[in-house]
């Protein structure tokens, strides 16, 4: 399992800045999301195994991603991820880690040292009053220096990742759409349609049996061309019952769906 949201950056953790903040990537495009989400006081921390399957499961349960972090480091605390989650109003943070390698070697440690040398002194001195007097003693001399030792170290490195999720308010229809690829448009012979990438549970789309892989064609009398036109139609028909035309396996299906009102 390789955790890669973007190219990983190898770092050494220094200072007080959490790598979850330092390498955070915002996916909201600067949009104020606070009116569209349910803000919670506590952050739920989960351990992930596969980013793509985890992301699909989160979307199916009414969460949307607001950002992620990705880096390589050693011994990183979860506290930084929780702090970042609170900053971006995320109610869930999914953490990933995978061992990559171990760095080993020796680091020098130099400490001050002192050495004392002793000198024995013996001799005679002449004094007019006392005459010849003998003496003996010890003279100590202190020398300052340093002593270097080499300490072995071993540091295990890991690929770390985190995705930050907000709980969205009850959706109008309940799908995460995705623009069709040029190849899909070419096969269909037109520039219309929008792919249903994920269906949110307990939503109008879910109970109307709209499925992942369906193509949204029209809503009311309006043609759906892309994500922009889709969200404009969501605002237009919010709270109303509307007929939606979808294509599934090249078959047209009409569904009359009561949409939810726009979130306040």
Provide the pLDDT confidence category of residue 225 given band limits of 50, 70 and 90: very high
In a domain, 14, yes or no: no
Which has the minimum average pLDDT: 21-35, 63-77, 125-139, 231-245?
Answer: 125-139
Let me know whether 219 and 251 are in one domain.
Answer: yes
**Statement to judge: residues 88 and 57 lie in one domain:** yes
Q: What is the pLDDT of residue 128?
A: 67
| Higher-confidence position of 170 and 121 | 170
Same domain, 41 and 52: yes
- 60 and 37 belong to one structural domain: yes
What HEC string does 30-77 produce?
Answer: CCCCCCCEECCCCCEEEECCCHHHHHHHHHHCCEEEEEEEEEEECCCC
Say yes or no: 131 and 206 in one domain: no
Domain that holds residue 111: 107-149
49 part of a folded domain: yes
Domain boundary among 139, 168, 197: 168
What's residue 233's pLDDT?
97
How many folded domains does the chain comprise? 3
How much is the pLDDT for 119?
Answer: 74
Rounded CA separation 109/112 (Å): 10
Q: Are residues 180 and 222 in the same domain?
A: yes
Same domain, yes or no, for 189 and 251?
yes
Residue 196 confidence class, pLDDT cut points 50, 70, 90: very high
| Residue 28 maps to a domain | yes
Rounded distance, CA 192 to CA 66, Å? 28
Res 256 pLDDT > 50: yes
Same-domain status, 195 and 82: no
C-alpha 227/C-alpha 203 separation (Å) is 19
pLDDT over threshold 70, residue 174: yes
Q: Are residues 33 and 160 in the same domain?
A: yes
Region 83-88 average pLDDT: 96
- In this structure, are 117 and 87 located in the same domain? no
pTM over 0.85: no
73 close to 160: Cβ distance less than 8 angstroms: yes
Total number of residues shown for the chain: 264
């Amino acid at each position: 399992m390789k955790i890669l949201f973007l190219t990983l950056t190898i770092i050494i953790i220094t200072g007080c800045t959490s790598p979850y903040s330092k390498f955070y990537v915002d996916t909201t495009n600067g949009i104020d999301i606070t009116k569209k989400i349910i803000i919670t006081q506590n952050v739920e921390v989960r351990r992930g195994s596969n980013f793509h399957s985890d992301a699909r499961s989160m979307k199916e349960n009414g969460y949307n991603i607001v950002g992620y972090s990705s880096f390589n480091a050693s011994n990183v605390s979860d506290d930084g991820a929780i702090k970042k989650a609170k900053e971006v109003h995320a109610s869930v943070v999914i953490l990933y880690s995978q061992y990559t390698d171990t760095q080993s070697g020796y680091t020098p440690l130099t400490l001050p040292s002192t050495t004392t040398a002793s000198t024995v002194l013996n001799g005679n001195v002449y004094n007019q009053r006392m005459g010849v007097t003998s003496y003996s003693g010890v003279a100590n001399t202190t020398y300052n220096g340093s002593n270097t030792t080499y300490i072995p170290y071993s540091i295990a490195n890991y690929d770390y990742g985190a995705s930050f999720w907000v709980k969205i308010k009850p959706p109008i229809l309940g799908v995460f759409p995705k623009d069709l690829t040029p190849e899909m448009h070419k096969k269909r012979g037109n520039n219309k349609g929008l792919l249903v990438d994920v269906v949110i549970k307990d939503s109008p789309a879910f109970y109307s049996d709209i499925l992942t892989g369906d193509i949204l064609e029209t809503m009311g009398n309006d043609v759906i061309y892309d994500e922009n036109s889709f969200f404009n139609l969501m605002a237009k028909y919010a709270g109303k019952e509307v007929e939606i035309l979808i294509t599934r396996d090249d078959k047209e299906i009409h569904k009359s769906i009561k949409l939810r009102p726009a979130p306040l």
